[in-house]
Each structure stands twice: as C-alpha cells, then as structure tokens.
Amino acid sequence: MISSSHCVAKGSTRARSPHICYCAHTDRYIWDRFDDYFPPERSRAASRGGVAAGFLRQWDVETSAGVDRFVANSAFVRDRIRRYYGADASVVHPFVDESFFSEPLREDREGYHVIVSALVPYKKIELAIDAAAIAGGGW
C-alpha cells in the first residue's frame, strides 16, 4: 500500500502488505502548531487542546509504526519524522513541471485575484487581501 499523507492517511490499515508513506508533513496541529490552527481567542477547541492533542499524538505515533518505509517531501519533513516517529525517511522532492514557470507573464490582466488556501489563522489570508487592495487590486 502507498499512502500520501500530510495528516492521518498514514494510519490506514492494511492486510499483510508493505506500507510506504509519502509524507508531505507530520501533523503540525498536534505536535507544535496547535495554537496556530486553534487560537484560544477564536476556538473552543483550544480549551480542549491539551487533552485532545495528547490523544492525537499517541494515535499518531502508534499508527506510524504501521508504516514500513517513510518517504518525505523535504529534509525538514524527514527530520520531523525522525523526531516524532523515531523513523528514518528517504527524501523525494515533489515533481514540478518547470515549463509552467517559463511562460511569459501576461501584460493585460483581468480585474480579479484568487487565493486557494486552507482558511486557518496562521496563513494570514487577510494580509494577502490587504496587500492586493493596497496594490490596486480592487477587493
């Protein structure tokens, strides 16, 4: 079985087959960034964070033992896998079609912007909106 995980997919069960996990990230919201995802002033989850995060960390470590081989998308993630799961990982960087970046930018623009993102506080989407407005984006 091959799982692609940034969160819980590595916890998938398997029946007598090797499990390779391509890990984009360990569970940031339970290990070291809980308050970034659930700030106390914006969420009731923060008040339960200590208890819930403890159970989730335990589950995360237990399910990591079911992975036969980790493959990380960066050295940073490889180091987190080592720190949190006690496992080694090979690094295979995500594949990128570089021709996409060689296309010239269009001079004529339509009057809109798009943000594709998880709406979590640490991403600071409001900052991007403010910057576009300052630049004449017309939000």
Q: Lowest-pLDDT range, 54-58, 59-63, 120-124, 127-131?
A: 120-124
pLDDT tens sequence across 56-110: 889 889 989 889 999 999 999 999 999 999 999 999 998 888 787 777 766 766 7
Which two tokens mark 62? 């237990």
The Cβ of residue 69 has, within 10 Å, a number of other Cβ atoms equal to 14
Backbone phi, psi, residue 72, to 5°: -100, 155
Percent composition of the chain: helix, strand, coil (DSSP 3-state, to 5): 45, 10, 45
pLDDT band at 139 (very low <50, low <70, confident <90, very high): very low
Check residue 88 and give its pLDDT.
96
Say how far apart CA 29 and CA 49 lie, in whole Å.
Answer: 10
Beta bridge partners of 20: 2, 69
The CA-based diameter of the chain, rounded to the nearest angstrom, is 58
> What is the model's pTM?
0.68
